Amino acid sequence: MKKSKIRVIGAIVCSLIVTASLSGCKNKTEVVTETNGGKKEPLTITMVHRLDAAFVLENNPVIKLLEEKANVKLKLEVPPVTDYVNRVNVLMASGDLPDLIHLQNIDAKYQEYAADGLLIPLDDYFKNTPNINKRTLPEQLEQARVEKTGKLHSVPRPHESSTFIALFRKDWFDALELKAPQTIEEFEKVAIAIAKGDPDKNGKADTYFMSLLPGIESEQLLSGAFGVRDGLTPDANGKVTIAEGQEGFIKLMDFYKKLYAEKAIDPEWYLNKTYGDRDKFKQGKLAMMTNAAKPNELVGVTVKDLVKAFPNAKIDYFLPLKDATGKRPVYLSPSTWGTFAISNTAKDPKRIMEFLDWTFSDEGIEVLNAGVKGVTYESFDINTGICISPESMLDARTKYISPYMSFITSVKGKRIMTPGNTDSERKTVSAAVEDYYKNVNIVNTVPSSFAAGFTDAEKKLTDIKNTRDQYVAKYIIGQISKDEFVKFINEKFLPANKEVIGALQKYYDTKIKK
């Protein structure tokens, strides 16, 4: 009895599935016609891309121009930006792959997709991509190398190198007759003076010098001066290690602890989620905005909002601090922002690569970064990065152009588009960038993930990294003693990272030392 019932149900299920899938077949046939003069027929490329919601897809003149110039038909699939990774995962697992896939990060997942054969190796194609080769640094391209196959499985999007500066409230500094700090000692003095001085003159001790973000407390602005090196930069004995394994790290934490005790650091910094510290800066609670602030932010929204709310606010910046020898060490590894890969189901990888190469060409850069002449901009100079676009085109610009849509945002570490809408804004940013490159001591390095086995070893460390963040936070706010903290770092954290450190050392010894 029961069996027959199951059989009946099974039959119903099957028939339902069959009818449902049959009924859907009609709309699946694709029609690709349209021939273009003497040219080859345009190549239809299906692509999954991560584009922000403000970017309009329908009747977008920029996409139209791109299709025309590159002789392609772009069929974009655009999952939500916030959950992009989930969607890509499902696509990868289901085998429903579009031809061209944008991956948000070059990470363990990327390695896995490629090693599983879902993304084709592109090494051979790179011979015929002059524009990509010209505008991508070898260290940027190298990030796409997959450990298991030893090949390059994607074209990374070259991005601006991390030029971290500190933005500060010039008006507050002036009111207390303070100068932008250049050394650790000056930094400390200024921080305490701000904490004690009530720079906004409201009679309340509600302003602080700075805030921090949990998990990324150690940033280049201070860490270089404290002698914290990059994971692949050796000490005097030729040893490399992660930040926590270096002497300077504990010193830096001690420094934070001291500033916290002096109320120079926001007392509830550990509650900050993404952007939390920026919001506090905007609200006139902090004298300094740090967390990965770049020169372009001198004219960015955070500063503009701040000035709108507090018309007296003046903003200036200072560079990473000097160390004991008077240098400003900054560890620079070329950045990328996601990557573009071709799936194993793509029919014509060669032409897709040609398309990608086109996006790196002068013409491609102009279309994707500046848009359509007369609609989104008036003039664009690829060498200076100056794009003139009047206020009346602002609406079209926000709708039809997006950095998410561009395939290359920076050349050799420097932004293609000089930030700023007016000449004076552009000057401010350019001057800061120039100042940065002139006055910091750049130590060129490569991402730690280059070290074979590094990514795999790091994957296993989720637990201990989380514990580390707890210890750091508790140490800075004075909930645990130095002994406890140092003991944790030396006896728990570093041993857990043995494999990671080993991978770094091995890579350094075999690849960099030579």
Partner 1 sequence: MIKKSRLRWDDISIDLISYTLIGAFSILCLLPFLYVFTYSVTPYTDFIKNPMNFLPRNIQFDAYKSILGYKLIASGYKNTLFITIVGTALNLLLLLMTAYPLSKKNLRGSKFIFLLFIFTMFFNGGMIPNYYLMRELNLINRIWSLILPGVLGAYNLILMINFIREIPDSLEEAAIIDGASEIKVLFSIILPLCIPAVVTLGLFHAVGAWNSYFSAILYINKRTGWPLQLILRELIMQSGLNEVQNANDDVSRIPFTLQMAAIMVTTLPIMCVYPFLQKYFMKGLLLGGVKE
Partner 2 sequence: MDIRKVTSEKNPVQMKKKENLLKYIINNRYLYLLMLPGVIYLIIFKYVPMYGVIIAFKDFSFAKGIIGSPFNNFENFKTLFSSQDFYRILFNSVYLSIVKIIFAFPIPIIFAIMLNEVGNKKFKRITQTIMYLPHFISWVVIGGIVVIFMSADGGLINEIIKKLGYQPIPFLSSESWFRAVVIITDVWKEAGWGTIIYLASLTSISPEYYEAATVDGANRWQQILYITLPCISNTIIILLTLKIGGLMTNGFEQIYILQNPINMAVSDVFETYTYRVGLANTQYSYASAVGLFQSIIGLILIYCTNKIAKMFGKSTIY
Binding-site ranges for partner 2 (CB under 8 A): 1, 9, 12-13, 16-17, 89, 92-93, 95, 107-109, 112-113, 116-118, 206, 214-215, 266-268, 270-271, 458-459, 462-464, 466-467, 469-470, 472-474, 477, 479
Stretch that binds partner 1, among 213-221, 348-356, 466-474, 493-501 (CB under 8 A): 213-221
At residue 125, what is the residue type?
Y
Contact characters 20-39, partner 1, x per CB under 8 A: xx-xxx--------------
Minimum distance from residue 273 beta carbon to partner 2 (Å): 8
Under rule CB under 8 A, residue 289 binds partner 1: no
Residue pair 119/363 in contact by the 8 Å Cβ criterion: no
441 three-class SS: strand
Within a 10 A sphere around the Cβ of 426, how many other Cβ atoms? 20
Classify 107 in phi/psi space as left (phi over 0), alpha (psi -120 to 50) or beta: beta
Can you give the three-state secondary structure of 22-56, one letter per residue?
A: HHHHHHHCCCCCCCCCCCCCCEEEEEECCCCCCCC
Gap between the Cα atoms of 278 and 124, Å rounded? 45
Minimum distance from residue 384 beta carbon to partner 1 (Å): 18
Stretch that binds partner 1, among 262-270, 278-286, 381-389, 461-469 (CB under 8 A): 278-286
Contact characters 466-505, partner 1, x per CB under 8 A: ----------------------------------------
Applying the rule CB under 8 A, the residues between 307 and 366 that interact with partner 1 are: 308-310, 335, 337-338
Stretch that binds partner 1, among 52-60, 235-243, 358-366, 494-502 (CB under 8 A): 52-60
Gap between the Cα atoms of 377 and 397, Å rounded? 8
Q: Which residue has the tokens 């791109």?
A: 66
Q: Nearest Cα to 62, choosing from 340, 368, 319, 413?
A: 368
473, interface contact from partner 1, partner 2, none, CB < 5-8 Å by kind:
partner 2
Nearer Cβ to partner 1, position 24 or 326? 24
| Longest Cα–Cα distance in the chain | 92
Residue pair 276/213 in contact by the 8 Å Cβ criterion: yes
Minimum distance from residue 94 beta carbon to partner 1 (Å): 5
Pairing status of strand 100-103 against strand 43-48: parallel
Q: Which residue has the tokens 């030729």?
A: 238
Under rule CB under 8 A, residue 10 binds partner 1: no
Gap between the Cα atoms of 76 and 405, Å rounded? 11
Please report, as ranges, the residues that interact with partner 1 according to CB under 8 A: 17, 20-21, 23-25, 52-54, 56-58, 77-83, 86-87, 89-90, 93-94, 96, 104-105, 159, 162, 213, 215-216, 274-275, 282-284, 291-292, 296-297, 300-301, 305-306, 308-310, 335, 337-338, 402-404, 409, 419
